[in-house]
Amino acid sequence: MLYSLHAKPLMNKFKSKEPRILHIISSSGFLGAENVVLELAKETTKVGYWVTIGIIENRNNLHMELAEKAREDGIKVQIFPCRGRFDGRTISSIRSFISSRQANILHSHGYKSNFYVSLANRGHMSWVVTNHLWKKTTFALKFYAYLDSLLIRRANKIVAVSDEIVDAMMHRGIPSVKITVIDNGVDLQRFSNSQRNNNLRKSFGLNESNKIIGTIGSLTEEKGHIYLLEAARKVIDVVPECRFLIIGDGGQRQFLQEKTAHLWLSEKILFAGSRKDVPEILSMLDAFVLPSIKEGLPMALLEAMASKVPVIATSVGAIPNVIEDGINGLLIPPKNSDAISEAINKMLSNGDSAKEMALKGFEKVRDHYSSKQMAEKYLTVYQELLT
């Protein structure tokens, strides 16, 4: 049984060696992993732990969204400058910070942060790794995954966000005794209190008659946006007032916009880029679609469910653990635009059923995927390492 985040016995156990947690991540925007880091930092700070989010700064691809959001929430942030793929000064700065601030748990997220932490730590501190997903859509990413599998063996504990990721790590020879699964979690209050904002709707050029289908995610191949675009053509042929809102940015943006133009959908599909008002945007949607080819446990899906939006998602990664088809959402096969369009039409044509699924979806997230529940499980890992 997991202990309560506010239980005094836990604090007494840590009295002799209070946890001082340094998260390290190389951020490329405020995406799923960044969201997890922030929610975990917020929850562990609430119980009085020393927590800092360390961000390895990529000078060639500068993203400070996580730093900005963390500071807004009162979380300490430390920037570690990095001037290339390998920068010895980054190792030194991480090592110096660990020593001066007496951090006793290092928690890294992603290939690059795992690489730098493994060199900076040299086995001196307890080291936790969270594997959010090994992306293998290019040769370079496959190589990074291979290198990562060698490095993280040195970690004391490795957290996977889905059983599929566990299987991938064990296939690489990582001992199962080091691995545990912890589901991602969302801040329910942040997403359950948003009210419909007509001014926001108008800012996108949308009117009251429009049905809005949305998706949130980085514009990369594994997110499967191409299949959503193909499905949009079929949906709009049946429901002309339907509009599609794509939130996020990434390397495929130009390709996807060209595909949109080729489908004669440029006025029907809106590419809104990265946004800071995701809860408000979710409150506008008539349905949320996640067309991913590969996933761990997507935060965007949990956020949509927490917002009581009807959801449609592909049956990849840990998604089938979250969505019961026809009960709290619709599950569809990946790489199938016909299945996406049919599911959207089903949601739009049966409003009562969609609302019922949305309510069940909220209850599922509330009962099993809150940020508090996620933090409790991570605190168990930290406790094991310190005691």
pLDDT band for 57, please (50, 70, 90 cuts): confident
What six digits make up the tokens of 343?
């599911």
- Above 60 in pLDDT, residue 16? no
pLDDT at 60: 67
pLDDT at 292: 96
Per-residue pLDDT, 194? 63
Task: Determine the Cα–Cα distance for residues 103 and 6; give it in Å rounded to an integer.
Answer: 22
Same fold yes or no, 8-185+370-386 and 188-368: yes
Q: Which residues contact 177 (CB under 8 A, 6 or more apart)?
A: none
Query: Of the spans 47-56, 118-127, 162-171, 305-314, which averages the highest pLDDT?
Result: 305-314
Looking at the domain 188-368, which fold is it? Rossmann fold (3.40.50)
**Residue 91 confidence (pLDDT) above 50:** yes
Distance CA 317, CA 300 (A): 14
Two structure tokens written together for 239: 């429901």
Where in the chain are the domains?
8-185+370-386, 188-368
Give the model confidence (pLDDT) of 356-378 as tens digits: 999 999 999 999 999 999 999 99
Question: What number is the average pLDDT over the span 270-282?
Answer: 92
pLDDT at 193: 67
* pLDDT number for residue 47: 87
pTM of the model: 0.87
Burial 147-183 (b: 16+ CB within 10 A, else e): ebbebbbebbbbbbbbebbbebbeeeebeeebbbebb
> Containing H/E element for 85?
none
Compute the radius of gyration of the chain from its Cα atoms. Answer: 21
pLDDT digit string (tens) for 92-150?
999 999 888 888 899 999 999 999 999 999 778 899 999 998 887 678 888 988 999 99
Helices (H), the chain: 8-13, 32-46, 65-72, 88-101, 111-121, 139-151, 163-171, 188-192, 198-203, 225-238, 253-262, 278-282, 299-306, 319-322, 337-349, 351-368, 371-386
pLDDT at 13 over 50: no
Question: What does the pLDDT read at residue 210?
Answer: 93
d(CA 139, CA 280): 38
> What per-residue confidence (pLDDT) applies to 43?
94
**Backbone torsions φ then ψ of 25, nearest 5 degrees:** -150, 145
Higher-confidence position of 206 and 4: 206
- Return the amino acid letter for 348: L
Question: Is 79 strand, coil or helix?
Answer: strand
Report pLDDT for 10: 38
At 4 the pLDDT is: 37
Helix (H, G, I), strand (E, B) or coil at 221: helix
pLDDT at 151: 93
Comparing 189-193, 227-231, 247-251, 300-304, the range with the smallest average pLDDT is 189-193
In whole angstroms, what separates CA 315 from the centre of its chain? 17
Tokens of 304: 């949509």
Mean pLDDT, to the nearest integer, of 38-61? 89
pLDDT higher than threshold 50 for residue 9: no
**What pLDDT score does 2 carry?**
37
Pull the structure tokens for residue 54: 């360390």
Q: What is the mean pLDDT of residues 154-160?
A: 95
**Which residue(s) pair with 79 in the sheet?**
55
- Gap between the terminal Cα atoms of the chain: 18
pLDDT of the residue at 195? 66
pLDDT band at 12 (very low <50, low <70, confident <90, very high): very low
Tell me whether strands 105-109 and 50-58 are parallel, antiparallel or unpaired.
unpaired
Mean pLDDT, the chain, rounded, equals 90
pLDDT (tens digit, 9 = 90+) per residue, 188-218? 988 876 666 778 888 999 988 999 999 999 9
Q: What is the pLDDT of residues 329-354, one digit of tens each?
A: 999 999 999 999 999 999 999 999 99
Q: List the beta bridge partners of residue 53.
A: 23, 77
Q: How confident is the model at residue 61 (pLDDT cuts 50, 70, 90)?
A: low
Provide, rounded to the nearest whole percent, the portion of the chain with pLDDT above 70.
93
Q: List phi, psi (to 5°) of 52.
A: -135, 140
Percent of the chain with pLDDT over 90: 73
CATH of range 8-185+370-386; options 3.40.50.2000, 3.90.400.10, 2.130.10.10, 3.10.20.740: 3.40.50.2000
